[in-house]
Amino acid sequence: MNWVLVIVGGMVGAPLRYLTDRAVQQRHDTVFPWGTFTVNVVGCFVLGLLSGAVVAGAANSDVQLLLGTGLCGALTTYSTFSYETLRLAEDGARFFAAANAVASVVAGLGAVFVGVSFADALWA
């Protein structure tokens, strides 16, 4: 049963990632990968919120599998982040490559912190 929850979450997360990435990237005329940045930060926030909910007892392990492993696992993408950062550097956009690496890590960690804090305020 656990694998079904992960698959169902992934079935929602993967197309959501693609559609969000395309929608965000179409609105920006830059080489910076705003679409990937957006899905990764949003996924970090959701995972932080979910983790806080699990710790507070407001969500169980089934919800964690469905949303955390399935949805967030398919929504976020470390491999695309890495590839896009490498491509920026190879194409001579070293500033954007460095900015993507630093901003993604800082914003991702910040989003997790905000998500956990938000969950703590809601359920603690």
Answer yes or no: is 73 a known binding residue: yes
Q: Which residues contact 111 (CB under 8 A, 6 or more apart)?
A: 41, 42, 44, 45, 48
Comparing CA positions, the residue from 84, 49, 85, 89 lying closest to residue 67 is 49
Indicate the angle between helix axes 78-90 and 94-123, nearest 10 degrees. 160
Cα four-point dihedral sign 103, 106, 76, 53 = negative
111, 48 Cβ separation under 8 angstroms: yes
Annotated binding site for Na(+): 73, 76
Annotated binding site: 73, 76
